[in-house]
Copies of this chain bind each other. A is one copy, B any other.
Amino acid sequence: MDDNARDYELVTNAAGRLVPTRVNGRPVEPYQGVYAHRPSGRTAAPPIPTCAQYPRDGNKVVADLQTALRRCGLRDGMTISTHHHFRNGDVVANQVFDLAAGMGVRELRWFPSASFPCHEPVIRHMDSGVVHHIEGSLNGPLGEYCSRGKMAGMGVLRSHGGRYRAIQDGDAHIDIAVLAAPAADAFGNANGLYGPSACGPLGYTHADYRYADRVIVVTDNLVEWPCHPWDIIGNYVDYVVVQDSVGNPNKIVSGGTTEITTDPERLRMAETVAHFLDHAGLLHDGFNFQAGAGGTSLAFVKFLRDLLQEKGMRARAMSGGTTGFLVDILEEGMADYILDGQSFDLEAIRSLRDNPRHLAYDVMQAYNFHAKGNSTFMMDAIVLGATEVDVDFNANVVTHSDGKLLHGIGGWQNSLFAQCTILTIPALRRGTPMIRDRVTTLVGPGELVDVVVTERGIAINPRRTDLVEATSHSDLPIRPLRELKEEAEDICGCTAPEAELTRRVVAVVEWVDGTVLDSIWQLPED
């Protein structure tokens, strides 16, 4: 990003954060408060197609991806979207930009639903100018590349729901969506349930195929029409490409784990969350909850399950990146439904395919804030992690305390709207306090964080007088957040370090409504 080309002012938003007034040339609004912003106008609208211009036999298969890209009119400056259901096992995005490079196309905007370390090759295309910048979650090396100010455009970090919203609202126009599909028919109906690359639901594609000008489905498993369930609906698809592989589902889990943690401290936090819900009176027959696929979350799910059983209760709907753990609970009749936006293991995929109570739902239903409500509001409790939290219950999930951008937002911001949002975070990690006066990057406004659970106690947000009162006579280790902070600082012998950053914006964090919540600042030269 050329400093001389800077076209924005910096203003202080309602959260007291300094944010730019323009992002990649587009005027943006500063964050106004959790519920304050009111959208105006109407949604985006794709061009009206006509059957007269599509094959009379419904067969949209073309020779290869390059042919499809050419027929879609790929040219300089276009926005190309891909989905991340394969996470670190995706192959299609790299293929698209390798092809674009070969075709001599430049200045593309990549608009993935998330990027992963497997996409490191895109750095080369950014260096050479084939890709101008990435708008979407930047995990690992791509995040660091952005943090170091090497990306030609600004990064825009959106939650999953925020990405859907941005497409729907017309903030982000997709020229060509390139959608990998483990099963597809020649008309373009597709799903992620069958074939060698089966990866589960394809809900992150729905905004892409509904709003993009052009849509390419890429599959390694062409099936007879009609391919059902039609997670991708062929009536929106321009071309179908068949190739040897579209992704490696074994790499969906990467760097993380889908095993219950064995770390005693994490186990204790997980158990504490379950006990908190119990003592706060939040458990009931028909309880809805969401928890991630990480080790602590899985441990929580286990404790919760046992607690519900003990009380003779069952859950109604469970959501989260889906694993065999949720499937077990569903199959033993301890819950009515799994709501699945992303499958993490083969058990989850099998269950989604075969169990009518294992439901695929899309990111619109789960998370879109610019809708007439969304499913998260129906969640009785959601358990999330964070990289940092501050004394006002604000939380960070994208940068570390050195300010380096290393993680995407995922559905994290969207999940904050549950009836009770619980963050689990160690009070200290490797000798450094994780509770601070002010988070390095603001991703979750404190007023939506109801409870912080650490290995040293539970802090309840004072706004939640109902929770404070309900647990006031319990034997839970409930303590002020500031006290937990001080205890961690005493142990570490220091406060959390302040990141030393330049005053140059390399990326922004959007709030779920499209306003700008915070800036990511360029790291200083090493």
Contact = CB atoms under 8 A, between A and B. Distances in A.
Interface of A: 35-58, 60, 168-169, 187-188, 215, 224-226, 228, 230, 233-238, 286, 288, 316-317, 337, 339, 356, 359, 364-365, 368-375, 377-378, 417, 419, 513
Contacts of A372: 49, 51, 54, 60, 188, 215, 234-238
A373 B55 contact: yes
A368 B235 CA distance: 9
A169 B48 contact: yes
Given A50-B39, A52-B38, A316-B224, A58 B286 contact: no
B56 A370 contact: no
Contacts of A234: 365, 372-373
8 contacts: A38-B52, A43-B45, A43-B47, A51-B370, A52-B369, A60-B373, A226-B378, A233-B364
A51 B417 contact: yes
Contacts of A337: 226, 228
Secondary structure type dominating chain A contacts: loop
Nearest to A54: B373
Contact of A365 (B41, B44, B233, B356): B233
B369 A51 contact: yes
Nearest to A35: B52
Nearest to A189: B365
A236 B371 contact: yes
Contacts of A168: 48
A42 B47 contact: yes
B42 A46 contact: yes
**Shortest Cβ-Cβ A-B pairs, 4 listed:** A42-B45, A235-B371, A39-B48, A35-B52
Contacts of A52: 35-38, 369, 513
Given A37-B50, A42-B46, A337-B226, A58 B371 contact: no
A226 B373 CA distance: 13
Contacts of A369: 50-52
Nearest to A356: B356
A339 B226 contact: yes
Contacts of A55: 373, 377
Contacts of A60: 372-373
A37 B43 CA distance: 26
Contacts of A371: 49, 51, 235-236
Contacts of A365: 230, 233-235
Contacts of A39: 48-50
A419 B225 CA distance: 15
Nearest to A168: B48
A164 to B, nearest CB: 10
A130 B73 CA distance: 50
B41 A44 contact: no
A47 B37 contact: no
A51 B377 contact: yes
A1 to B, nearest CB: 30
Contacts of A187: 373, 375, 378
Given A38-B52, A230-B365, 17 more contacts: A37-B50, A39-B50, A44-B45, A48-B370, A50-B369, A51-B374, A58-B373, A188-B373, A226-B317, A226-B359, A228-B359, A233-B365, A235-B365, A235-B368, A236-B371, A236-B372, A237-B372
